[in-house]
Each structure stands twice: as structure tokens, then as C-alpha cells.
Amino acid sequence: MNDRLSSFQAIDNFRDYGGYATGGGRMARSLLYRSAHQARATDKDLEQLGRLNIAHVVDLRRPSERRAQPSRRPTGWAGQVVESDHDDGREAPHITFLKTADLTEDSGRAFMGETYRRLPFEPAHLDLFGRYFRALSERRGPVLIHCAAGKDRTGLLAALTHSLLGVAWDDIMADYLLTNMAVDLEGRAEEVTRKLTQMTGRSASHGAVVTFLGVEAAYLDQAFAAITARHGSVATYLEQALGVDDVMADRVRERLTA
């Protein structure tokens, strides 16, 4: 098992995304964590989570997702939650896709590519990503970022963090692709396929569900290509779209680089 991955009873895809080499040193460990949601966390999970002394939780989910699956927190936890009130009243796009689309491997990849090209520019993400970087620059203590599955919105934000710190692209991609090791895709696909059939009355192929549950390098490539096409570079996107100016960037680097 990769030493970045932490095993919980009912919190998926939990891992430390620090520790990578940067242009000026190495990221510290035990300051940056990422995961799926904590709605199903057991009491034992909450005790384990509490021992990490997390000071800030950045919940990237929509309000409707948070209402459907409210987070559980460790007893006595007094940290700060960063979340967005942006709500267009619709269900999450991935839920609509699963309910209505022709579920094939090709359709899953097409949907994910479209999603990643859109993610960096959605108002809720611009708000949350900017507030996350401000929290990193202004406050101390470990941070946990998560969405529903901890792979797409979370994966993009972790990759942007690595980019700001000067982590090599191969390491950025390796961290992103760890989802495929952290999650039992084959086992989870059986459960999801059953739920989809119950929800829609239609069946999806095993391969299509595995494709949807995992991540592929092409997805993150498309997000960064969209950022570069619109802003010229990731650094310019961070500054123009998220408000991460040179002073803030230097503070983040100082805090997170050992």
C-alpha cells in the first residue's frame, strides 16, 4: 500500500498530498489531506480523523450534495469549514449523467472530458479555490479538501496546489492517478451498477462504471489545457481567476515547503 494512503472504515480515497519535491525544496507532510466525503464516517473513523488535528475542511460539493450527505465531524472539532452557497437548484451533473446517459465507456470518457474542461471556471469553484488558497496563506494547521468521491474537483485543486509549489508534472499526475489505487474500482463498480439499475431501470456495463469511478491522465490534461488556452498559463489563472498574487503565492510556498 502506498504510504500516502490512509485506510478508514467508511471514508474513501483519503491521502496526504504533500511530500513532493518542488522547485525550492520539498513539500511538508501531514499538512495537506484529500478525500471523499465523510457522511458515512464511523465513530472509529472520526477518532482517527481527530488525531490528524485538521484545522480547515474545504468542502467542494454543491449545497444539494451537502444536504443529501451531511458531513460527520470528530467530537469537539472546532476547525473552519470552507464551502460554497452557489446553488443553481439543479442536481449535480454527474448524477444527471448517470440517470440519463447511455452508459458506455466512450460516453463516460466524453462526459469526464467535458467536465474537466468546465471545472476550472465554474463560479463555485472559482470562489472555493480562491478561499482555499487564502486559507493556506493566512492560517496554520492541516487542511482537508474533499468533494463527493475525492477524485475530480478535489483532484484538480490538489494539482493546482502542486503547480503553484513547483512540483514536477509527473508527480502531479502520479498523485492524481493514486485514486485508482486508493479506491477498489472493480469492487465498487458492482455496488454502483446495482444502484444505477434500481435508480434508472437501465443497466450499465461493468467497464463503463469502472471508467466513471476512476480517473485518467487525459482528464487532468484537458483541465490544464483549458486553463492555458484561456489564461496563457496556470500561474496567470491562479492570479487572475483565483486572486493568488505573488505575495499570497510566496506565503503558501513558505508554509508548505520544508
Residues acting as catalytic residues: 147
How far apart (Å, rounded) are the C-alpha atoms in residues 16 and 239?
A: 25
The secondary structure of the chain as a DSSP string is --TTB---SS--S-EE----EETTEEBPSSSEEEES--TT--HHHHHHHHTTT--EEEE-S-HHHHHHSPPP--TT---EEE------SSPPHHHHHHHHS---HHHHHHHHHHHHHHGGG-HHHHHHHHHHHHHHHH--S-EEEE-SSSSSHHHHHHHHHHHHHT--HHHHHHHHHTHHHHS-HHHHHHHHHHHHHHHHS----HHHHHHHHS--HHHHHHHHHHHHHHHSSHHHHHHHTT---HHHHHHHHHHHB-
